[in-house]
A and B are shown apart, each in its own frame.
Chain A
Amino acid sequence: MEEANSFSLEVASHPDNVGLVRLAVSALAAGAPFGVPDLEEIRVAVSEAVTNAVVHGYGGCRTGRVRIEATLFPDRLSLVVSDQGRGMEDVALARQAAAGDGERLGLGLLFMETFMDHVAIDSHPGRGTRVVMEKRVPVAAMAADGD
């Protein structure tokens, strides 16, 4: 596998689409020698990012647009989840103030950071949020795959 495979997808900010995006990303990631636990971690991370776009970005309004760009490089999966919703003034502050909103635990960002190798969040109040995440393909698995 030398060339990247990719898709981009734009979905309505509807709760049902969280599972749809999970499925699409899983299918793409299955093209690399990720282990089963890796794939499960990727599913959680993407679920968190899309859920945040729906719940926080658009405040539960289902007509917003959430965009997902997924690229499978030979050595890594790259995911970009963006919304044009409410945005955040200060990402570090948002995560500290997170818990306390109903049954939300303030764990989504922690899960993304724990389960992915790289997470970067770019957000502007009133303009939206862009979450970039990467997961590296295990080196041993890559070598075996190339044989």
Chain B
Amino acid sequence: MAISYRVEPHLLIVGLEQDLDLASAPDVRAALDALLDRYPDRDVRLDVGEVRFLDSTGLGVLLGRYRRLAASGRSMHLVGVRPAVAAVLTVAGVRQVMTWEGAGADEGHEKGVVADGGSQLV
């Protein structure tokens, strides 16, 4: 599994590089939790620029980490969201709970999406 991270004074920047699905969920969950524990008091920026696939299981892992962070007043922000991943986040109504932005200028329009039709997750 490929996971990279960089630590800044108030920010933990983590890069994921695999499909987020049932097969990868246990390892990704464990790796993210270990980092969140090791660097408490930091907000998290999750770079998913290399994540080409996300389904409900993968989203469960991301939102699970979001909830952990939110419980201690920390935030999680997704960057580099590819169109395939954006489609899943939009249908899920993730915009209501977690901030995210697209991979490049092309995806800029995704920023304005209001997930009215999405379900309530938190």
Contacts and interface: CB of A to CB of B under 8 A. Distances in A.
B59 interface: yes
Contacts of B55: 44, 47-48, 51, 108, 111
Given A51-B55, A103-B60, A104-B56, A15 B83 contact: no
A103 B61 contact: yes
B56 A107 contact: yes
Chain B contact-residue range equals 20 to 34
Contacts of A19: 19, 21, 23
A37 interface: yes
A-B pairs with lowest CB-CB distance, top 6: A103-B60, A40-B84, A103-B64, A107-B56, A47-B55, A15-B22
B83 A107 contact: no
A16 B44 CA distance: 29
A98 to B, nearest CB: 10
Interface of B: 19, 21-23, 25, 29, 53-57, 59-61, 63-64, 83-84, 87-88, 91-92, 119, 121
Dominant secondary structure of chain B at its interface with chain A: helix
Interface residues of A, number: 27
A54 B23 CA distance: 11
A48 B56 CA distance: 7
